Amino acid sequence: MTNSIEVKDLTLNFGAISVLKNMNLDVAEGEFVVLLGPSGCGKSTLLNCLAGLLEITDGQIFIKGKNVTWAEPNERGIGMVFQSYALYPQMTVRGNLSFGLKNAKVPRAEIEAKVARAAEILQIGPLLDRKPAALSGGQRQRVAIGRALVRDVDVFLFDEPLSNLDAKLRSELRVEIKRLHAQLKNTMVYVTHDQIEALTLADRIAVMRGGIIQQLAAPQEIYNRPANLFVAGFIGSPS
Ligand code: ADP
Ligand code: MG
């Protein structure tokens, strides 16, 4: 079986500082992998390398068996959802959802169908004519997810999508993301520093520290048999 994502001996240096150190990671097709670790451990950097937003220092990245190490972001078949919603403020929700497709010269009827489907899945139909400023944080994040959804990508990358939301919305949207994954069955790599989020969402968790994966295993395995004291302490003490 082809892995959806394969990271081989990836090293990323910022100047003299090695932020990712000879990292290896395989993500199976349809798998939900959470990158969990404290602030500064390299989670976002790894995600940005997968997305093609950072040039890696050494190693290789494969997506669906294709070597994309030097491919442009839009050639990688991935959709990325950031912590800050990154919506276009001057456009309506509909405009935000269709912008990328218009640029890619997708026929209008097809754009409308894709936007309608995303709106239905994410329950944002009534918001399509609003601008981002008139949305709540949770609604904006749904739109941000919708922008990845309309592109029919196989791989979703999430960078702390819930960390700007209050506790109630966070747990609601967490359930939503889990449902979305069950429905779409796409591959997801999800960055968080929140242990609860990781334990509830992940098929497997990669616990990171200092640019190194300390343990990569199912939540139960990590919880019951942490590989070292760092993993035990980090999983055992929710922030
Ligand atoms: P995380 O997402 O886990 O909080 P990051 O991937 O953002 O961590 O950062 C990992 C390390 O890389 C941090 O020490 C950070 O200061 C450093 N870093 C991130 N981006 C840059 C950059 N553009 N230039 C130099 N150092 C950076
Ligand atoms: Mg980060």
Nearest-atom number in ligand 1 for the CA of 35 is: 3
Quick one: which ligand is closest to 159's CA? 2
Contact predicate 47/157, CB 8 Å: yes
Of residues 56 and 84, more confidently modeled: 56
Mutate to test the pocket of ligand 1, among 19, 84, 214 (most ligand atoms within 8 A of CB): 19
Residues 6 or more apart from 104 whose CB is under 8 A from it?
Answer: none
158: pLDDT strictly greater than 70: yes
Ligand 1 neighbours by CB, cut-off 6 Å: 14, 19, 37, 39-45
Query: Residue 237: its pLDDT value, please?
Result: 53
Q: Is 227 exposed, middle or buried (0-12, 13-18, 19+ CB in 10 A)?
A: middle
Nearest ligand to the CA of 208 is 1
Question: Which protein residue has the closest C-alpha to ligand 1 atom 14?
Answer: 40
Residue to substitute in 10, 13, 14, 160 for testing ligand 1 pocket (most ligand atoms within 8 angstroms of CB): 14
Structure-block tokens of residue 31: 């798998």
List the residue whose alpha carbon is closest to atom 12 of ligand 1.
19
Helical residues (DSSP H) of 123-194, grouped into ranges: 137-149, 167-184
Please tell me whether residue 218 adopts helix, strand or coil conformation: coil
Q: Are 93 and 130 in contact (CB under 8 A)?
A: yes
Q: What is the pLDDT of residues 77-106, one digit of tens each?
A: 999 888 777 899 999 999 999 998 999 899
> In angstroms, what CA-CA distances link 37 with 174, 201, 219, 223, 234?
18, 15, 14, 14, 8
Are 33 and 202 contacting, i.e. CB atoms less than 8 angstroms apart? yes
Task: Pick the atom of ligand 1 nearest to 14's CA.
Answer: 25
Average pLDDT for 191-219: 96
- DSSP letter string, 10-57: EEEEETTEEEEEEEEEEEETT-EEEEE--TTSSHHHHHHHHHTSS--S
Which ligand is closest to the CA of 37, given by its number?
1
ipTM of the complex: 0.97
Q: Picking from 49-63, 142-156, 212-226, which range would have the lowest pLDDT averaged per residue?
A: 142-156
Atom of ligand 1 nearest to the CA of 159: 2
Position 168 scores a pLDDT of 87
Residues written for the chain? 239
Q: How far is the CA of 55 from the centre of ligand 2 (A)?
A: 17
